[in-house]
Amino acid sequence: MTDARIRLATSNDAEALSRLNQEFNGGYKRPSVEIIESLNKSNELIAVAVVSGKVVGFGCAQSFQSFCYKELQGEITELYVEEAARRKGIAASLISCLEKNLRERGVESVKVLTGKENDAAIKMYESCTYVKDDELLLNKNL
């Protein structure tokens, strides 16, 4: 493990989150003001990894209640570490931070969605004791 410091994001991280999100998801660069607004309004957990004062990765998670289930539901929705900081345990540390905060909210199990051919991500999640299931994702743009 590198000397990464893992913590929940603050509005001071908005510019770095914008940069990393564009690297990860492509498209236009989200303005910092939109990220700050999301941080202030959303129930989303956003963890960041900081190495030598620079944010090098982030992970996002949600917790939500559904009438279908008695238990609070949790999902890790995004996870990204910039190329130069990979293979140093940062992704696993981000996951651990998100899990800790989800557990504090009362979540007992967490789902993750990742690409079926994203072998590196799948191996990393499995190393964090996540187990593949037989669910199938269907998607539609509206």
Report if residue 54 sits inside a domain.
yes
| Residue linked to tokens 């917790």 | 63
40-77 pLDDT, tens digit each: 999 899 999 999 999 999 999 999 998 988 889 999 99
The CATH number of the domain holding residue 121 is 3.40.630.30
Report if residue 140 sits inside a domain.
no
Average of per-residue pLDDT across 112-133: 90
Taking the alpha carbons at both ends of the chain, their separation in whole angstroms is: 42
| 3-state SS assignment for residue 70 | coil
Domain count, the chain: 1
| 3-state SS assignment for residue 118 | coil
Report if residue 52 sits inside a domain.
yes
Report if residue 49 sits inside a domain.
yes
Residue 12 DSSP class: G
- Quick one: pLDDT at residue 2? 63
Is residue 82 within 8 A of residue 94, CB to CB? The reply is no
Report if residue 132 sits inside a domain.
no
Of the chain, the percentage scoring pLDDT greater than 90 comes to 75
Query: Would you place residue 126 in the very low, low, confident or very high pLDDT band (cuts 50, 70, 90)?
Result: very high
Give the tokens for residue 68: 């279908």
- Quick one: pLDDT at residue 129? 92
Report if residue 109 sits inside a domain.
yes
Q: CA 105 to CA 74: how far, in whole Å?
A: 10
6-39 pLDDT, tens digit each: 999 999 999 999 999 999 998 889 999 999 999 9
Structural domain range at position 87: 5-127
| pTM, rounded to two decimals | 0.91
Sign of CA dihedral 55, 20, 115, 46: positive
- Quick one: pLDDT at residue 1? 52
Give the tokens for residue 105: 């909210």
Query: Would you place residue 138 in the very low, low, confident or very high pLDDT band (cuts 50, 70, 90)?
Result: confident
79-112 pLDDT, tens digit each: 999 999 999 999 999 999 999 999 999 999 899 9
Q: What are phi and psi of 30, to 5 degrees?
A: -65, 130
